[in-house]
A and B are shown apart, each in its own frame.
Chain A
Amino acid sequence: MTLKNRKESRREIFHSKLGIIEVGFSWIFILIAGVVILGLFIYISSDQASFFRDLINANLLKDLNAIFVGATVSKDTAALFEIPKTELVFDCDSYGIGGVTHPLTGHIVYAPPLLKTNELITWTKPWSLGFRVTNFLYITSPFIKYYVIYDSSHASLAAEVYDDLPDQLTKEMIAIGNADGSYIKNQGYDRIHVLVLAGSTYRSSNLPSSLYNPNDFKGYGNDEIKFIMLYDETKIADTILKGEIVIKNKKQEQQDFNEDFGGEPRLSQRFYDFSSLYAAFISGNHNVWQCMTDKSYSRARDVASIYKSRTQSLNSNILFPVCNGLYTSADNQFTIMKQNLGDSGVIIKINEIESDIILFHNINNNLERASCPLLY
């Protein structure tokens, strides 16, 4: 082999080695490019999936808000809505689905803290302290069972409450003597709320243990069975129910049952109007009930200010002594009521609001008899 041929053959071998290496690099390059493109598409698709899930939840919350606004302005109405199966979370300021929240924007809404449902029940009742203050919106689902348990002295009140509750609710009324395991059974509801109308004679031992018997309701967490006790109830100004409410969970009621706690209430709270009682019953959540009640008293302060100013205008322009005397009393009473309602952050003198309600009721009736323009 000549030198020239040897050089040529060495060149050919070198180029073929290069070709082999180049093919290898080409495959590596393709692999890397493919992984990058695949990774990019996987990232985009997962990001978009998460984005569209949030978008769907946000659209659902927007639609729910429209439903809630419509429900809020229609007092004394109840409706059942079908919605996509979802888990709705409620707290004092907002409600949400899957981490996306929507503010409650001034509505007074009472609902259990968690609703896993494809059907929503909305119900609206006006709340008044003599004069109407706002509408309470109650939100629940047919998968929550509501029991009204009463003793013989509360039979008429129990019937009034039970008839007032909307038919769409899954409700049942049981006399306390019958409230045993044959009536109250585990029927697979998400939550159970029990309203006990037995007053100061109520003792936890009157209720059977079946509601917190580990064998009967073992699948229920402590906060999934709630007891709402009503004490010291009476009616003022003809129609407004006044009383004390205690909200207990399963563990607390079990404790009271075991210790035979008797009629002494835990953390009781004064309320006015049937609407507040229903608020505790429907929501079964002391924190939400307390928080929304504070908001409603804050709204009552504003409404009382407006009625006070209106009364002063009437007093200035309606020049009949009988009317003027009543308007002056009402004006003073509005001042007292605003003091009782307090400023934000100040404890409300809730027990003293009762006399304000009664006085406004009497003044309004006297104005009507005297053919004067009414306070409200």
Chain B
Amino acid sequence: MMETISVLLVFLILLTFVVIFYVNISTSSAQSGREDITNLKAVEISQLIAYMPEFQCSSKNIVDENCFDMLKLEAFGNFSITTEGQDAIATSYFDIFEYSRIEVNEIYPDSTKSWLVYERKPESSRVSLKRTFIPISLYNAYDNSFAYGILNITVYS
């Protein structure tokens, strides 16, 4: 009987080692999966924002690819400070952008211009972030001119 008990004891110790090993593997696998999701989310946001008529350049509904309308960026900024806009950002735009920061910076000819389109940070103090930069063109409807810009997307996780 003592032999049986000692065999069981050894078996349980080995089982414990196996479980600890498995948990460590699962944890690192989950961490890697979370990073993949964050990267994917950054790509999705960049795709989604580029097609939204709230920002996209268009002429009689014919769309210019990778082009953002400066007037629409300003209009969105004005809209986001209204009550109606804040409701929309908290609901329908949060569904699309989630916890992220979206900023457009003009780099040429006027590098001082920038527009903060959207920002929502998670409440947790421990966040990691993933930044994506996409070159875009910026259309100015006042004088029918174009500028170079960068779309900065920061995804929080």
* A interface residue numbers (CB < 8 A to B): 22, 25-26, 29-30, 33, 37, 62, 65-66, 69-70, 72-73, 75, 103-106, 126, 128, 131-135, 295, 298-299, 301-303, 305-310, 313-314, 317-318, 364, 368, 373-374, 376
CA separation between A302 and B95, bound complex, in Å?
14
Contact partner of B142 (CB less than 8 A), chosen from A295, A301, A318, A364, is A318
Contact partner of A373 (CB less than 8 A), chosen from B48, B98, B144, is B144
Taking CB atoms and an 8 Å cut-off, the chain B residues in 37-96 that contact chain A are 37, 40, 44, 47-48, 50-54, 58-61, 63, 69, 71-72, 74-76, 78-79, 82, 84-85, 88, 92-93, 95-96
Taking CB atoms and an 8 Å cut-off, the chain B residues in 104-141 that contact chain A are 141
Per DSSP, chain A at the interface is helix
Contact partner of B53 (CB less than 8 A), chosen from A26, A37, A303, A364, is A303
A69 adjacent to B48 (CB under 8 Å):
yes
CA separation between A302 and B63, bound complex, in Å?
19
Known: A66-B44, A103-B95, A106-B96. A373 touches B53 (CB 8 A): no
Known: A305-B79, A376-B60. A70 touches B47 (CB 8 A): yes
* B interface residue numbers (CB < 8 A to A): 1, 4, 8, 11, 37, 40, 44, 47-48, 50-54, 58-61, 63, 69, 71-72, 74-76, 78-79, 82, 84-85, 88, 92-93, 95-96, 98, 141-142, 144
Can you spell out 5 A-B residue pairs with CB atoms less than 8 angstroms apart?
A: A30-B4, A133-B53, A134-B52, A302-B92, A314-B142
A135 adjacent to B88 (CB under 8 Å):
no
A309 adjacent to B75 (CB under 8 Å):
yes
Q: Which residues of A contact B61 (CB under 8 A)?
A: 126, 128, 131-132, 376
CA separation between A66 and B44, bound complex, in Å?
7
Contact partner of B54 (CB less than 8 A), chosen from A22, A128, A306, is A306
The chain B residue sitting closest to A104, CB to CB, is B95
Contact partner of B51 (CB less than 8 A), chosen from A135, A306, A309, A317, is A135
Contact partner of A374 (CB less than 8 A), chosen from B11, B60, B76, B95, is B60
* Chain A min CB distance to B7 (Å): 9
The chain B residue sitting closest to A298, CB to CB, is B92
Contact partner of A134 (CB less than 8 A), chosen from B37, B53, B63, is B53
Q: Which residues of B contact A70 (CB under 8 A)?
A: 47
Known: A132-B53, A306-B76. A22 touches B47 (CB 8 A): no
Contact partner of B50 (CB less than 8 A), chosen from A65, A73, A317, A318, is A73
A374 adjacent to B44 (CB under 8 Å):
no
The chain A residue sitting closest to B69, CB to CB, is A310
CA separation between A29 and B76, bound complex, in Å?
74
* Chain B min CB distance to A131 (Å): 7
Contact partner of B75 (CB less than 8 A), chosen from A33, A103, A126, A313, is A313
A22 adjacent to B40 (CB under 8 Å):
no
CA separation between A306 and B88, bound complex, in Å?
12
Contact partner of B40 (CB less than 8 A), chosen from A66, A128, A299, A364, is A66
* Chain B min CB distance to A300 (Å): 10
CA separation between A105 and B82, bound complex, in Å?
23
The chain A residue sitting closest to B11, CB to CB, is A37
CA separation between A309 and B40, bound complex, in Å?
33
B142 adjacent to A33 (CB under 8 Å):
no
Known: A66-B44, A134-B53, A373-B142. A306 touches B72 (CB 8 A): yes
The chain B residue sitting closest to A65, CB to CB, is B44
CA separation between A311 and B72, bound complex, in Å?
10
CA separation between A302 and B92, bound complex, in Å?
10
A105 adjacent to B95 (CB under 8 Å):
yes
* Chain A min CB distance to B155 (Å): 14
Known: A299-B92, A376-B60. A73 touches B71 (CB 8 A): no
CA separation between A364 and B58, bound complex, in Å?
12
Known: A62-B37, A131-B61. A309 touches B48 (CB 8 A): no
Q: Which residues of A contact B92 (CB under 8 A)?
A: 106, 295, 298-299, 302
* Chain A min CB distance to B142 (Å): 5
Contact partner of A22 (CB less than 8 A), chosen from B1, B69, B72, B93, is B1
Known: A131-B61, A302-B54. A309 touches B142 (CB 8 A): no
Q: Which residues of A contact B71 (CB under 8 A)?
A: 310, 313-314
CA separation between A260 and B63, bound complex, in Å?
48
CA separation between A69 and B46, bound complex, in Å?
10
B1 adjacent to A29 (CB under 8 Å):
yes
B95 adjacent to A26 (CB under 8 Å):
no
